[in-house]
Chain A
Amino acid sequence: MNLEFLTYIIYVVTAANTTIFIGQQLYVNGAVFLERIFRSTPDFAVPVNKLLLIGFYLVNIGLVLVYTTQHAANINTLLQSVEFLVSKIGIVYLLLGIMHVFNLMVFIIIEKKINFSYTDSSLEDPARTYKKINSLNQKDINYGKSHDS
């Protein structure tokens, strides 16, 4: 096993670990956003969150792996190995940042589309609508309580 191969392996392990860490953070902290976005259909939040996480992993790890083989420089000394690692991992971090912003944009787009269609013609089925109208005041009180506590 020569130095070049070893450098590749260090690069892939570092980048994949970072991706998984960031993905977990987004999954945990994005749950609140998705619960708010899908407040009219609460059972959608967890599935959508899971699918977004899997998509994030696939695209990021794919880009990490594709990017490994591009511009493969000759690595003979330790200095060249460190230079390779620093430049590649820096670009992977930038990529993760861009994907993170993209994910937030997806949240905003879903929020607009879904809640626009619900406020536009805010009814899905009769039973639920009657319930909604009857419990409107009750709901507001409950929201206030949950925010206080």
Chain B
Amino acid sequence: MILKAYSIYLVITLGMTFFVAKILFQNSKVFMLDIFRGREEIAYPTNRLFEIGFYLMNVGAALLFMKTARILNAQGLFETLSLKIGSFSIYLGIMLFANLYLLFRGKRVSSERSDDRFEEEVMPEVVG
């Protein structure tokens, strides 16, 4: 019974991690291109590195949180799995929002910097 629980847990949590990472890092390409001002040779590798970091942290957390006590019957299996998978899902949601926060912050910092440089060098008459 406990082996069954472990295998169901691993399949569901790893599947969730891969699914969320796929969607997150497909959609963060727009942010990365904006942060790096359209320079693809830096934007895509950075995106890839963020993705690898996301995988490492989440797979690591899933494996760390796997161990459980003895499970007696189908109901116990259901209760244990719902607690474990639910906690992992909340963790994944928090990680997703943290990543979104980082992207927004990067976007703000990048736009502020380029605006300062722009005001000084390129078009002082319009800004002033």
Contact = CB atoms under 8 A, between A and B. Distances in A.
Contacts of B49: none
A62 B69 CA distance: 21
Contacts of A43: 30
A55 B96 contact: yes
B85 interface: yes
Contacts of B24: 51, 54
A127 to B, nearest CB: 11
B78 interface: yes
Contacts, number: 118
Contact of A69 (B79, B91, B111): B79
Interface string B96-128: 110010001000100110111011001100110
A45 B113 CA distance: 23
Interface residues of B, number: 43
A125 interface: yes
Among B85, B91, B115, which residue has the most Cβ atoms of chain A within 10 A?
Answer: B115
B71 to A, nearest CB: 13
B83 interface: yes
A34 B67 CA distance: 42
A123 interface: yes
B29 to A, nearest CB: 8
Given A44-B30, A47-B28, A59-B93, A5 B74 contact: yes
A59 B90 contact: yes
Query: How would you classify the secondary structure of chain B's contact residues: helix, strand, loop or mixed?
Result: helix
A138 B93 CA distance: 42
Nearest to A117: B108
A31 interface: no
Contact of B108 (A44, A113, A123, A125): A113
Interface in A121-142: 121, 123-126, 129, 133
A62 B86 CA distance: 4
Contact of B127 (A52, A69, A123): A123
A6 to B, nearest CB: 10
A96 to B, nearest CB: 14
Given A48-B27, A51-B100, A61-B86, 13 more contacts: A5-B75, A47-B30, A54-B24, A55-B97, A58-B92, A63-B86, A68-B83, A68-B86, A69-B82, A117-B111, A123-B127, A126-B122, A126-B123
Interface of B: 16, 20, 23-24, 27-28, 30-31, 34, 37, 74-75, 78-80, 82-83, 85-94, 96-97, 100, 104, 108, 111-112, 114-116, 118-119, 122-123, 126-127
20 contacts: A8-B75, A51-B23, A54-B96, A59-B89, A59-B93, A61-B89, A62-B88, A62-B89, A63-B90, A65-B82, A66-B82, A67-B86, A72-B79, A117-B108, A118-B111, A123-B118, A123-B119, A124-B114, A125-B114, A133-B126
